[in-house]
């Protein structure tokens, strides 16, 4: 089944009881047990819920996965995995990483005796060199948020396998449609479905997919015990969004490529970060593990004054936190996605005062380019 068909028909998409074309929002916390000796599939919605299960089937389809667990946010999904490590365990993670994940790994995990070393993930050897006798896992984000650094998945997975380590990949920027990380050998594929999977900036939800039965059981147990489960309404909205995901991703990534090429030639833009550009240092590696450069372009306007002038002048994109909506969204990572880091740490990660992150939507790209050019023209 090809992808445009799969996102619509690759999983049970009608209600099995009524034939309803949209699986209902089962807004129920508990379920009648008419015979207490019988074993029921649904007993309490923290354990399972039909709307959430339907989304889970859809995520399995697009991830080419056997199992998927739905969480109340991308961060809940990440936490559910990481809280399964134990006191004394060590994880190696990429240095360029979403601010919330960095905060979890530096402010929370150490309190439970779990340590994390951050490495420059653009060289797989750095992952290898950071392994110690307590290392249990590699945590990867590629392309990274917001500087779009690339990890060579095949090499890092091969190092992990040789050392018997678990691999965890936050695939939010590529989505399973552009990078099938489980087929490459990743153990846990994470997505903040808040972004491109739902795609309408109206839901917070996280997904984890795996092909390992033991890991799936562990994830489900964590979701139940921690209680960070996706709500029925959010699951329903995400199912609805997912059905148009292939079209959105195709359109947004084509737009992003055009925008990146345009910005790269613009005199007011100091640098463009986009793995679909041949000038990106890891373009070849990225294209070997992804279908295209993705939907997010970051660029540097050199200083805060230029950023402020530009953001005050831009008209079409939403200036906001987040990404992955059908509408274009521009974020200023320094005070948005990476606000929880110290200025020193931000600079280590390349989050400079001139850096903007552009999640390219499905608008007509010519309109976006005119708008961006007008805004750039205001910079002296
Ligand atoms: N991972 C990445 C790469 C993100 O960009 C984000 C949020 O921006 C998250 C995880 C967290 O997702 P959520 O906001 O759904 O918790």
What is the atom index within ligand 1 of the atom nearest the CA of 323?
8
Q: Whose Cα sits closest to atom 14 in ligand 1?
A: 74
Cα 98 to ligand 1 centre (Å): 7
Alpha helix stretches (DSSP H) within the chain:
3-9, 50-63, 74-82, 99-103, 124-129, 153-162, 175-178, 181-184, 213-226, 232-242, 245-264, 283-289, 304-313, 343-348, 365-377
Helix (H, G, I), strand (E, B) or coil at 273: strand
Q: Is 69 in the pocket of ligand 1 (CB under 6 A)?
A: no
Question: What is the Cα–Cα distance from 119 to 167, expressed in whole angstroms?
Answer: 15
User: Is 98 among the catalytic positions?
Assistant: yes
Q: Is 99 in the pocket of ligand 1 (CB under 6 A)?
A: no
Question: What is the Cα–Cα distance from 359 to 196, expressed in whole angstroms?
Answer: 10
Q: Whose Cα sits closest to atom 13 in ligand 1?
A: 74
19 has pLDDT over 90: yes
pLDDT in tens, 225-256: 999 999 999 999 999 999 999 999 999 999 99
Question: What is the Cα–Cα distance from 112 to 260, expressed in whole angstroms?
Answer: 42
pLDDT in tens, 169-197: 999 999 999 999 999 999 999 999 999 99
Q: Whose Cα sits closest to atom 15 in ligand 1?
A: 74
pLDDT in tens, 117-173: 999 999 999 999 999 999 999 999 999 999 999 999 999 999 999 999 999 999 999
Task: Supply the DSSP symbol for 231.
Answer: P
Q: Whose Cα sits closest to atom 4 in ligand 1?
A: 98
What is the atom index within ligand 1 of the atom nearest the CA of 76?
16
Q: Is 206 in the pocket of ligand 1 (CB under 6 A)?
A: yes
* Residue showing tokens 């691999």: 167
Cis omega (within 30 of 0) on the bond before 76? Answer: no
- Is the CB of residue 296 less than 8 Å from the CB of residue 290? no
Task: Supply the DSSP symbol for 144.
Answer: P
Q: Is 238 in the pocket of ligand 1 (CB under 6 A)?
A: no
Helix (H, G, I), strand (E, B) or coil at 288: helix
Cis omega (within 30 of 0) on the bond before 179? Answer: no
At what angle are helices 365-377 and 304-313 packed, to 10 degrees? 130
User: Is 26 among the catalytic positions?
Assistant: no
Q: Is 331 in the pocket of ligand 1 (CB under 6 A)?
A: no
> What pTM does this model have?
0.97
User: Is 195 among the catalytic positions?
Assistant: yes
pLDDT in tens, 30-71: 999 999 999 999 999 999 999 999 999 999 999 999 999 999
- Is the CB of residue 275 less than 8 Å from the CB of residue 143? yes
Q: Is 179 in the pocket of ligand 1 (CB under 6 A)?
A: no
Which residues lie across from 168 on neighbouring strands?
139, 188
């Amino acid at each position: 089944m090809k992808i445009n068909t799969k996102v619509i028909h690759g999983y049970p998409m009608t209600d099995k009881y009524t034939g309803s074309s949209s699986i209902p929002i089962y807004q129920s916390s508990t379920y009648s047990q008419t015979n207490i000796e019988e074993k029921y599939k649904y007993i309490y919605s923290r354990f399972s819920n039909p709307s959430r299960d339907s989304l889970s089937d859809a995520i399995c389809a697009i991830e080419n996965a056997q199992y998927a667990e739905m969480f109340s946010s991308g961060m809940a999904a990440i936490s559910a995995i990481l809280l399964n490590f134990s006191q004394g365990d060590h994880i190696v993670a990429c240095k360029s990483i979403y601010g919330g994940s960095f905060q979890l790994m530096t402010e929370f995990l150490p309190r439970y005796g779990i340590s994390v070393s951050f490495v420059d993930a653009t060289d797989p050897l750095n992952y290898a060199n950071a392994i110690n006798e307590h290392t249990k896992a590699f945590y990867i984000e590629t392309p990274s948020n917001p500087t779009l650094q690339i990890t060579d998945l095949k090499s890092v997975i091969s190092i992990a396998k040789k050392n018997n380590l678990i691999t965890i990949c936050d695939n939010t920027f590529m989505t399973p449609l552009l990078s099938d990380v489980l087929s490459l050998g990743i153990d846990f594929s994470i997505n903040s479905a808040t972004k491109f999977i739902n795609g309408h900036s109206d839901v917070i939800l996280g997904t984890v997919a795996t092909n390992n039965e033991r890991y799936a059981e562990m994830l489900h147990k964590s979701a139940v015990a921690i209680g960070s489960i996706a709500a029925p309404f959010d699951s329903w909205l995400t199912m609805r969004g997912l059905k148009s995901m292939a079209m959105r991703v195709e359109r947004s990534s084509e737009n992003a490529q055009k925008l990146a090429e345009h910005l790269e030639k613009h005199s007011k833009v100091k640098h463009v970060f986009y793995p679909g550009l041949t000038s990106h240092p890891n373009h070849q590696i990225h294209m070997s593990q992804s279908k295209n450069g993705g939907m997010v372009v970051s660029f540097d306007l050199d200083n805060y004054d230029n950023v402020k002038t530009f953001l005050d002048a831009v008209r079409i994109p939403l200036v906001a936190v987040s990404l992955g909506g059908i509408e274009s969204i521009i974020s200023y990572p320094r005070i948005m996605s990476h606000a929880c880091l110290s200025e020193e740490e931000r600079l280590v990660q390349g989050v400079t005062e001139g850096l903007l992150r552009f999640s390219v939507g499905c608008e007509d790209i010519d309109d976006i380019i005119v708008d961006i050019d007008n805004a750039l023209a205001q910079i002296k």
